[in-house]
């Protein structure tokens, strides 16, 4: 049988980690060799995600688990505070990191790129694994060249701390690279309730809706006289990120150096 990609999941008991465990167990060209959680105890990883037992027990000491299980790829959805240290550890052990967390400065990414090259392995840092969201941003940017009058509306759960979302900011940046420079709306416009026209970015507006039960949605509305174009992406749960994670696990086996941004893997 062809070599299956040996995958370790760090933060395996978390909401994203569990989805990754399920994905790796389902993909026939991947083999789950380890899962790490500091708090879950030695539970079978298959049972943890409601599948058949897979014979791999959750570990708690990341370095020990990685040395013993010898993965090709580490998938990490823990948090920004561990982003750099886990990536460093993986590369030092010759394991290709696929990092789903934020928390990397440009300098840290440059240093990790160097470390990957010194160790002749590939790595990926991807703040957003959603293929649909990446295409939505790309299509919106393409269309804004012809429809420069636009507004972005993003929807997230009511507990989200930051506004606008990182995806909305990234969309606005991509649009600004190609959109004709114009300031939209009536120059005499006045807000009678502060903030009602949304956040201002390079001549257009961004609106952040926060409601319970919403996961992540965004639409870019563009209009000219007599026509409108709406580009919209809806994610309903964390499974939305998993096709992207599976692509990343395969792709990271094929190059050397650290790549920042999953969009580089989408043609």
Ligand X SMILES: NC(=O)c1ccc[n+]([C@@H]2O[C@H](COP(=O)([O-])OP(=O)(O)OC[C@H]3O[C@@H](n4cnc5c(N)ncnc54)[C@H](OP(=O)(O)O)[C@@H]3O)[C@@H](O)[C@H]2O)c1
Question: Catalytic residue numbers?
Answer: 156, 160
Q: Is the Cβ of residue 41 or residue 226 nearer to ligand X in the bound state? A: 41
Binding mask 13-52 for ligand X (x = CB under 6 A): xxxxx-------------------xxxx------------
Identify the helix (H) or strand (E) that includes residue 95: none
CA–CA gap between residue 142 and residue 175 (Å, rounded):
8
Q: Smallest gap, in angstroms, from Cβ of residue 230 to ligand X?
A: 24
The token duo for 88 is 């460093």
- Cis peptide bond N-terminal to 68, omega within 30: no
Q: Is the Cβ of residue 104 or residue 241 nearer to ligand X in the bound state? A: 241
DSSP category for residue 93:
T
Chain-centroid distance of CA 5 in Å reads 21
Helices 106-118, 83-92: axis angle to 10 degrees equals: 10
171 binds ligand X (CB under 6 A): no
CA angle 47, 51, 56 (to 5 degrees): 50
Stretch that binds ligand X, among 74-82, 115-123, 157-165, 200-208 (CB under 6 A): 74-82
Q: Smallest gap, in angstroms, from Cβ of residue 40 to ligand X?
A: 5
The residues pairing with 220 across neighbouring beta strands, listed in sequence order, are 152, 231
The token duo for 155 is 């929807």
User: What are the backbone angles phi and psi of residue 99, rounded to the nearest 5°?
Assistant: -105, 125
Stretch that binds ligand X, among 8-16, 67-75, 162-170, 247-255 (CB under 6 A): 8-16
CA angle 227, 229, 230 (to 5 degrees): 140
- The one among 69, 78, 217, 218 contacting ligand X by CB under 6 A: 78
217 binds ligand X (CB under 6 A): no
Q: Smallest gap, in angstroms, from Cβ of residue 80 to ligand X?
A: 6
Stretch that binds ligand X, among 12-20, 137-145, 170-178, 184-192 (CB under 6 A): 12-20
- The one among 71, 77, 140, 150 contacting ligand X by CB under 6 A: 77
Q: Which residue has the tokens 């991807």?
A: 126
Site for ligand X in 103-162 (CB under 6 A): 126-129
Q: Smallest gap, in angstroms, from Cβ of residue 126 to ligand X?
A: 5
The token duo for 230 is 């709406």
Q: Smallest gap, in angstroms, from Cβ of residue 49 to ligand X?
A: 13
Residues that bind ligand X (CB under 6 A): 11, 13-17, 37-40, 77-79, 81-82, 100-101, 126-129, 241
């Amino acid at each position: 049988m062809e070599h299956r990609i040996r995958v370790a999941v760090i933060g395996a008991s978390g909401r994203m980690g569990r989805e990754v465990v399920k994905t790796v167990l389902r993909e026939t060209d991947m083999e789950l060799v380890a899962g790490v959680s500091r708090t879950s105890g030695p539970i079978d990883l298959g049972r943890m995600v409601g599948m058949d037992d897979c014979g791999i027990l959750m570990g708690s000491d990341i370095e020990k688990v990685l040395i013993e299980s010898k993965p090709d790829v580490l998938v990490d959805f823990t948090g920004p505070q561990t982003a750099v240290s886990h990536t460093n550890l993986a590369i030092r052990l010759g394991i290709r990191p696929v990092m789903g967390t934020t928390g990397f400065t440009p300098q840290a990414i440059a240093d990790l790129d160097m470390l990957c090259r010194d160790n002749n392995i590939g790595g990926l840092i991807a703040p957003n694994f959603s293929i649909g969201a990446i295409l939505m941003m790309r299509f919106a940017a393409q269309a804004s060249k012809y429809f420069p009058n636009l507004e972005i509306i993003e929807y997230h759960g009511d507990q989200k701390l930051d506004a606008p979302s990182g995806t909305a900011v990234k969309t606005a940046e991509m649009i600004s690279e190609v959109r004709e420079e114009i300031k939209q709306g009536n120059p005499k416009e006045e807000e009678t309730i502060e903030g009602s026209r949304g956040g201002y970015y390079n001549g257009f507006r961004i609106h952040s809706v926060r409601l319970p039960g919403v996961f992540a949605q965004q639409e870019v509305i563009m209009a000219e006289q007599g026509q409108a174009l709406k580009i919209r992406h809806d994610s309903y749960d964390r499974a939305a990120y998993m096709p992207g994670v599976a692509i990343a696990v395969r792709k990271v086996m094929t190059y050397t150096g650290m790549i920042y941004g999953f969009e580089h893997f989408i043609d």
